[in-house]
Each structure stands twice: as C-alpha cells, then as structure tokens.
Amino acid sequence: MKNSKVKKWAENVVKQEEIDKYLIDGEDFIKDELIWEKIEKNKNPDKEYVREIIQKSLNIERLDPDETAALLNVEDKDLWGEIKEAALKVKRKVYDNRVVLFAPLYISNLCVNNCLYCGFRKDNNEEVRRRLSMDEVKKEAESMIKMGHKRGLVVYGEHPKSDANYIKETIESIYDVKVDTGRKKGTIRRVNINAAPMKIEDLKKLWEVGVGTYQVFQETYHHDTYNKLHPSGPKSNYKWRLYALHRALEAGIDDVAIGALFGLYDWRFEVMGLLYHAIDLEKQFGGIGPHTISFPRLMDAQNAPYVQKTKYKVSDEDFKKLVAVLRLSIPYTGLIVTARERPEMRDEAMMLGCTQTDASTRIGIGAYSEAYKEQEKNRQQFVIDDTRDVDSVIRRFAKMGMISSFCTAGYRCGRTGKKIMDMLTTCQEGKFCKLNAILTFREWLDDFASEETRKIGENLIKKEIKEVENDPYFKENDLLKPFKKYYERIKNGERDIYI
C-alpha cells in the first residue's frame, strides 16, 4: 500500500462525534490537577482510616479516589503488610485461588503511530514489518493449541492492512482451527484482542464474530506526557483512545479491559487514572466496569528513545504496592501480570491478587510456528523476562497451591457484562471459577502435563475437590452432583464440559 494511501487512512480514523457523545461539559474524566490534589491531600493517612478502607475492599466495594490516594500514601511497613495480606484475601474471595492462563499472539506489526517507547513505531526502520496471512494465523493457533492453550490474546498494530475487516477475519480463522490432541479436537475457545481504538461500526463487526475481551491501554493518563510520547498517528488523539472502551460497550462488546504502561509517568498518578477510568465506565454503562486491568512495566525496545530517558521507571517494591492497591481499589476486576516480569516477580504478584497471566509467551510475528529466538528485537515490540513453557509455569503455581485454569465457560454461559459484574461483587462468580478451573485443569493434566507436573497437579486437584465437597454453597445450589458427573466424564476422555 502506497504511503499516501496509508497517510490518508490514518488521517480519517478518528471520528470526533464518537468522542463528544461521552464527554461531560466538553471535558474528559481525567483531571490531572485533581488527581494530584487527591494524592497530596491524603498524605500521612491515619492507620485506623487505612484499616477502614481495607475493610471496605474486603466487603468487595470499589474504593473512591480519596481512599485509593490514602493507600498510595501509606509509608508504614507493617501497614503495607496488612494491605498486601488483604489484597490476597480479596482475590480469593472474588476469584478463589485460580490463575487463568492465556497466550499472546502477535500477528501484525505494521503501524501508523510513532510512540516513542515502542519497537513497532512507524519511524523504527530496523523493525522487520510483517502481517500474517490467514494460513499463517492458523499455523500460529495450531502451535498454541498444541501447547495446551484454550484462549489467546491477539495483538495488532494500527494500520489499514490490519483494520477491522482483517481483525474480523483473523478471529474467525482462529476459532476455525481444530487440532487433534489425542482425546478430542483442541480449539482456542476464547479470542481476546489488543487492538487500536475503532469506530462503533467496526466494533460491531468484531462482536458479530464472537470477539472476547477488547483490550485498549491508555498507556499514560497524564495529558502532557501522553501528548509528548505520541507525536503522530491516530494514537496522538488522547480522547479517541480514552473512550475506545465506551464505544466498544455501546457496540455490544460486553467485556472490556483497561491498562497503563507503568514507567511513562508517576506510578501513583497512573493507578488513580485507572480508577477514574473504571468509575466512568461504571457511571455511563450501568455498573459495567473493566473486566481486567493490566499494569505492564516499561521494557527495553528497539529504537525506542524514551525507554532510556524516562525518570519514572517503577521499582520492584513500588510495583508490588501498585498491584496491591489496584486489587483493593477495584476488587471485582481481574488483574493481569505478564511475561514482561521475571518469574519471581510474577509469583509475588500472584500473592498480591493477580488472576491472569500468560505462559509460553512469544511476542514476535510468527513466533509460535517458526524457528525463532525470543530476543530477536527486530521481530518484536519489546523484550520479555519470562520465557518458561506452560508446563513449568503451571508446576510452579501448583507448588504455590494455585490451580491453573483454562476456563472460558462464563463467556459461553452468558456470564458477561452487567451479569458478571453482579456475580463478582457478590462473590458468586468465584464459585463457578473454582469448579471450571478443576475441570479444565483435569483436561490439561491428562492431555499435556509432564510426569512431574502431573504428580503435583493430582495432589492439588484432590485438595480442590475436597474444598468443593466441604463448601455448603455447592450442595445448596445443586452444583455438586453435576460437577462430579462432569469431572468423571472428563477423566473418561470427554472435553470442553463446563458449568
């Protein structure tokens, strides 16, 4: 495609009328000065006030900005210990002790934007540009299924060659792939996407083909920093990106995901920005907040000048703090920690309330099905710190007492949008999460696990089943008998059975 056509396409992406409809008195919901006022106002919070805030979160109530700012300002080490302990309690109360696994699938690095921290940026002439064909997309999906994955997060650069029609076709292609795993044809059961903001008309196309969660990161919520780091392309429009998920919900996509790239600006400000984003979604869409929140840290990327310049890189200790505060601040949401983090840090993040992570991660274009070295910078967006395979990740979680889940049941049973939000805040969804985690873990152990992991996994499953049997909720709600029946059917070779 000629540069002139690409430029013209990029100039016509943003639809101002699809921004204005969500503004309040012509303004967006992020008020930079107000956020800093909240952070300054809540310095040196009283210990008992902090404990009241913690209790509110333990009651699965979303915190307000002042309460969140108070947590961010805690300095007492013992009090931070209480915050971190409460974060894990909240996670277990809402989601039980399961960890959902997925694999990211990068299928196009063509991009019209020029983000100063990204290897995909338009002016990086050393990047090897590529967009996968549908046959190549299917090969990638086949490789992921053979690893045991059931859900993928598909990632696209913003370009006319990877527009909504291309995204729609890739989603259909991935869902069409069936691989013989020895018992039954394996499939990707849930296709989530990380893609550029789109107009409502295009988002409806994705909804029609069964797109899962639609993920758009604001990157930084600080207006001036955002404008400096996004000098050109549709992404230079702060408000177009900020309201991407509002448009998605209006289009019918009922699970949306927010995130910020920590290291672009002050981490405390970004936590507050994520909270305000959740609040505005709830206000404008009848209580539907973000299905998940991501908080990746800035990593090295090829020809990305801002990575070395930034003074906002987040330390390990501050990273753990921001995870814990997010868990308490928005207790109903899923929290995603990724392979950007080294294994030890991912373990710690799980103990602070994270619910999802990736495994066997390869972020180069075509990297699952082709011979590939993960550190080939000219084929990927950034560098990752955890390249362990699925078996190793699952074995580690099992040793920690956490069950790995490949469940996609809620989406296919209609537990999405407002319904799942209500079930999460009343701690009912976690009950279904527990049952379906056991069922999908049983599948994975039988079909993919190494002998070492299977032994550890068997002990964990026994423990989980005993907990189900001893929990009166399952008997009172007529779930125990069907669960045991489904479990036996899976042991006998059936697949994809869920509650």
* pLDDT tens digit sequence for 281-296: 999 999 999 999 999 9
Average pLDDT over residues 50-57: 98
Is residue 496 a part of any domain in this protein? no
| Burial class for 429, CB neighbours closer than 10 Å (0-12, 13-18, 19+) | buried
| CATH classification at residue 168 | 3.20.20.70
- The structure's pTM equals 0.96
Rounded to whole angstroms, the Cα distance separating 499 from 490 reads 13
Asked whether residue 83 falls in the same domain as residue 130, the answer is no
Is residue 186 a part of any domain in this protein? yes
Rounded to whole angstroms, the Cα distance separating 459 from 455 reads 7
In this prediction, residue 495 carries a pLDDT of 93
In this prediction, residue 19 carries a pLDDT of 98
Asked whether residue 75 falls in the same domain as residue 118, the answer is no
Among residues 355, 428, 343, the alpha carbon closest in space to that of 99 is found at 355
Q: Look up residue 31 and give its two tokens.
A: 């008020």
Rounded to whole angstroms, the Cα distance separating 266 from 222 reads 9
In this prediction, residue 127 carries a pLDDT of 87
Domain boundary among 410, 436, 469: 410
In this prediction, residue 382 carries a pLDDT of 54
Q: Which position has the token pair 């893609």?
A: 195
Is pLDDT of 126 > 90?
no
Q: Which position has the token pair 């700012």?
A: 69
In this prediction, residue 356 carries a pLDDT of 98
Q: How many residues does this entry show for the chain?
A: 499
Q: Which residues have a Cβ under 8 Å from the Cβ of 276 and sit 6 or more positions away?
A: 29, 30, 35, 65, 221
The number of C-alpha atoms within 13 Å of 303 and in the hemisphere containing its C-beta is 15
Weakest mean pLDDT among 273-282, 300-309, 393-402, 431-440? 300-309
Is pLDDT of 187 > 70?
yes
Asked whether residue 417 falls in the same domain as residue 366, the answer is no
Q: For residues 216 and 241, is the Cβ–Cβ distance under 8 A?
A: yes
Q: For residues 54 and 63, is the Cβ–Cβ distance under 8 A?
A: no
Residue 400 φ then ψ, to 5°: -85, 0
Domain boundary among 395, 410, 425: 410
- When pLDDT is cut at 50, 70 and 90, the band that residue 181 belongs to is confident
In this prediction, residue 185 carries a pLDDT of 85
Average pLDDT over residues 241-247: 98
Give the β-pairing of 256-259 and 214-215: parallel
| Burial class for 87, CB neighbours closer than 10 Å (0-12, 13-18, 19+) | buried
Q: Is the dihedral of CA 69, 215, 221, 268 positive or negative?
A: positive
Q: Look up residue 396 and give its two tokens.
A: 């580690």
Asked whether residue 268 falls in the same domain as residue 141, the answer is yes
Asked whether residue 242 falls in the same domain as residue 279, the answer is yes
CA angle 326, 403, 210 (to 5 degrees): 70
Q: For residues 140 and 107, is the Cβ–Cβ distance under 8 A?
A: yes
Which 3 state secondary structure label does DSSP give 42?
coil
Is residue 389 a part of any domain in this protein? yes
- Work out the mean pLDDT of the chain and round it to a whole number: 94
Average pLDDT over residues 114-123: 93
Is residue 35 a part of any domain in this protein? no
Q: For residues 249 and 216, is the Cβ–Cβ distance under 8 A?
A: no
Q: What are the strands, taking DSSP E only, across 323-389?
A: 334-336, 356-358
Is residue 112 a part of any domain in this protein? yes
In this prediction, residue 371 carries a pLDDT of 62
Among residues 22, 2, 469, the alpha carbon closest in space to that of 242 is found at 22
Give the β-pairing of 403-405 and 256-259: unpaired
Q: Which residues have a Cβ under 8 Å from the Cβ of 233 and sit 6 or more positions away?
A: 10, 111, 112, 113, 114, 122, 158
Among residues 15, 363, 28, the alpha carbon closest in space to that of 197 is found at 15
Rounded to whole angstroms, the Cα distance separating 353 from 92 reads 8
The C-alpha R_g of the chain, in whole angstroms, comes to 22
Percent of the chain at pLDDT > 90 equals: 88
Is residue 148 a part of any domain in this protein? yes
Single-letter amino acid, residue 359: A
CA angle 377, 379, 384 (to 5 degrees): 50
Please state the separation of Cα 338 from the chain's center in Å.
8
Asked whether residue 74 falls in the same domain as residue 117, the answer is no
Domain span at residue 325 reads: 3-26+97-410
Average pLDDT over residues 142-164: 96
Asked whether residue 229 falls in the same domain as residue 119, the answer is yes
Is residue 497 a part of any domain in this protein? no
Asked whether residue 438 falls in the same domain as residue 302, the answer is no
* Number of compact structural domains in the chain: 3
Rounded to whole angstroms, the Cα distance separating 163 from 128 reads 19
Asked whether residue 352 falls in the same domain as residue 482, the answer is no
- When pLDDT is cut at 50, 70 and 90, the band that residue 411 belongs to is confident
Asked whether residue 193 falls in the same domain as residue 247, the answer is yes
Please state the separation of Cα 97 from the chain's center in Å.
17
DSSP label at residue 379 = G
Is residue 265 a part of any domain in this protein? yes
Q: How many CB atoms lie within 10 A of CB 1?
A: 10
Rounded to whole angstroms, the Cα distance separating 469 from 156 reads 44
Give the tens place of pLDDT for each residue, 342-391.
Answer: 999 999 999 999 999 999 999 889 999 886 554 454 445 556 778 899 99
In this prediction, residue 378 carries a pLDDT of 47
Q: Which residues have a Cβ under 8 Å from the Cβ of 158 and sit 6 or more positions away?
A: 13, 111, 112, 113, 195, 196, 233, 234, 235
Q: Look up residue 372 and give its two tokens.
A: 């590939």
Q: Which residues have a Cβ under 8 Å from the Cβ of 462 and sit 6 or more positions away?
A: none
Q: How many CB atoms lie within 10 A of CB 424?
A: 22
Asked whether residue 401 falls in the same domain as residue 423, the answer is no
Asked whether residue 387 falls in the same domain as residue 437, the answer is no
Q: Look up residue 369 and give its two tokens.
A: 């099905």
